[in-house]
């Protein structure tokens, strides 16, 4: 089926069920796929190196993410087409292909880091070669993708993973006994010398426009329509706030435990020291949290990449449970697993490629979302002037991140 062809929401039954899962889900998936091992490493590094001074970064990034996830929700609730089909209808097929390829390359470039993260977690838990564990969990991920009723299972697993990470990290931050006056002072924006790369890194991982874009597909998979806007908006707020809280509490725990000891974050073993205040089982708890972050991002990112790749070939009309999309999702998982197994991590060339793709693709995706959010097709869900202004600030911020990436690349 063509990506530009009309198609009904893929999962309508879930929207009719009563209970907790009827009113949450899509944004929790987004939070789980955005918050990966890179987010943990960056937030930990910021806390270890600059204590509480950069706590304002996840706050601002979360506000901008809230704006764009909300735009994605509004578009998803008012379209009967896939992501690229919606873009094709209003902004031509060329723009849709650019967005599709750009999104695919962005998530695929970072996929090896997610696979490597599962391997590192396996090493912390059981010892041995992390590359072996990366292969094992890649296979587990492939099996997971081919489970029947994929969206329904994905939603429940991602909600569980997010809750596990949230409990573990909040417990860590509380037990580490942070300096609350310093926490409050850290909410005032400032950029200490040498902190710019970390600021850009955490902002980019929390304010994920590709993740926000995929909200269009997720609300359709949920079976929500314009009449479900209140539920979808509530889900978006809760899921995105959890994403921001995870980054913040990791930074707080690192500031309270690693910064006073002068410990630098250079490996998963060093990151595990964040949990030492809880007890000797800290490494196990951290490894579980790391695995949750890595595995959820591995599945989530591959789902985005697979959907976008299928859309480029106009084979995404059946949603994420269709055969063409599942094949493309499997391809992305395999690519990440192979790179992690062969190189034992993420090659520097791949990091440079990911940054270069981000420079070009992410600002374009942001612009496309704002245009679609303001289009008359949104009806009563068309974004208003206040949200438009906040979105424009977000676009300016994306431009700043792109320029910063480019500046670092040319040095």
Q: Compute the average pLDDT of residues 362-366.
A: 92
- The whole-model pTM stands at 0.89
Tens digit of pLDDT for each residue in 169-226? 788 788 888 999 999 999 999 888 888 888 888 888 889 999 999 999 999 999 999 9
Residue 268 has pLDDT above 70, yes or no: no
Over range 273-294, report the average pLDDT.
Answer: 74
Q: Where are the domains of the chain?
A: 23-410
Q: Per CATH, which fold does 23-410 belong to?
A: Amino acid/polyamine transporter I (1.20.1740)
pLDDT > 80? residue 352: no
Please give the DSSP secondary-structure letter assigned to residue 313.
T
Identify the residue with better confidence: 356 or 50.
Answer: 50
pLDDT of residue 369: 97
- For the segment 51-62, the average pLDDT, to the nearest whole number, is 94
The pLDDT value given to residue 288: 85
The CA distances from residue 214 to 71, 82, 131, 187, in Å, are 11, 10, 30, 30
Beta strands in 128-234 (DSSP E): none
Give per-residue pLDDT as tens, 2-25. Answer: 444 444 444 444 444 455 556 778
Phi-psi region at 127: left, alpha or beta (left = phi > 0; alpha = psi -120 to 50): left
Q: What pLDDT score does 14 carry? A: 41
Report the chain's mean pLDDT, rounded to a whole number.
86
Asked if 298 and 32 touch (Cβ cutoff 8 Å), the reply is: no
The tokens describing 112, both together, are 């090896």
């Amino acid at each position: 089926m063509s990506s530009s062809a009309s198609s009904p929401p893929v999962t309508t039954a879930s929207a009719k069920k009563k209970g907790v899962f009827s009113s949450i889900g899509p944004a929790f998936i987004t939070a789980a796929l955005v918050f990966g091992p890179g987010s943990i490493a960056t937030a930990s590094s910021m806390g270890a190196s600059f204590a509480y001074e950069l706590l304002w970064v996840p706050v601002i990034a979360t506000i901008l993410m809230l704006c764009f996830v909300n735009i994605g929700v509004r578009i998803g609730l008012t379209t009967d087409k896939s992501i690229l089909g919606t873009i094709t209808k209003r902004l031509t097929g060329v723009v849709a292909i650019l967005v599709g390829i750009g999104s695919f390359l962005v998530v695929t470039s970072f996929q090896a880091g997610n696979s490597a993260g599962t391997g590192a977690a396996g090493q912390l838990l059981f010892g041995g070669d992390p590359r072996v564990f990366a292969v094992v969990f890649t296979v587990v991920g492939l099996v997971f993708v081919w489970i029947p009723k994929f969206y329904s299972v994905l939603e429940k697993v991602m909600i569980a993973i997010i809750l596990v990470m949230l409990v573990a990290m909040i417990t860590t931050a509380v037990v580490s006994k942070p300096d609350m006056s310093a926490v409050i002072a850290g909410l005032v924006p400032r950029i200490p010398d040498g902190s710019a790369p970390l600021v850009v890194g955490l902002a980019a991982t929390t304010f994920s426009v590709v993740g926000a874009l995929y909200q269009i597909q997720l609300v359709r998979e949920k079976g929500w329509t314009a009449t479900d806007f209140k539920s979808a908006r509530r889900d978006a707020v809760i899921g995105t706030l959890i994403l921001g809280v995870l980054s913040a509490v990791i930074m707080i725990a690192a500031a309270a435990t690693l910064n006073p000891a002068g410990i630098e974050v250079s490996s998963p073993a060093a990151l595990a020291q964040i949990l030492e205040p809880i007890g000797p089982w800290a490494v196990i708890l951290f490894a579980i949290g790391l695995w949750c972050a890595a595995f959820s991002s591995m599945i989530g990112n591959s789902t985005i990449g697979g959907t976008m790749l299928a859309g480029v070939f106009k084979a995404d009309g059946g949603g994420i449970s269709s055969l063409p999309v599942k094949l493309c999702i499997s391809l992305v998982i395999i690519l990440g697993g192979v790179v992690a197994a062969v190189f034992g991590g993420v090659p520097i060339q791949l990091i440079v490629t990911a940054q270069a793709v981000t420079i070009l693709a992410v600002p374009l995706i942001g612009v496309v979302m704002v245009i679609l959010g303001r289009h008359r097709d949104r009806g009563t869900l068309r974004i208003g002037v206040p949200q438009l202004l906040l979105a424009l600030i977000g676009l300016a911020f994306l431009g700043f991140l792109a320029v910063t990436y480019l500046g670092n690349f040319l040095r």
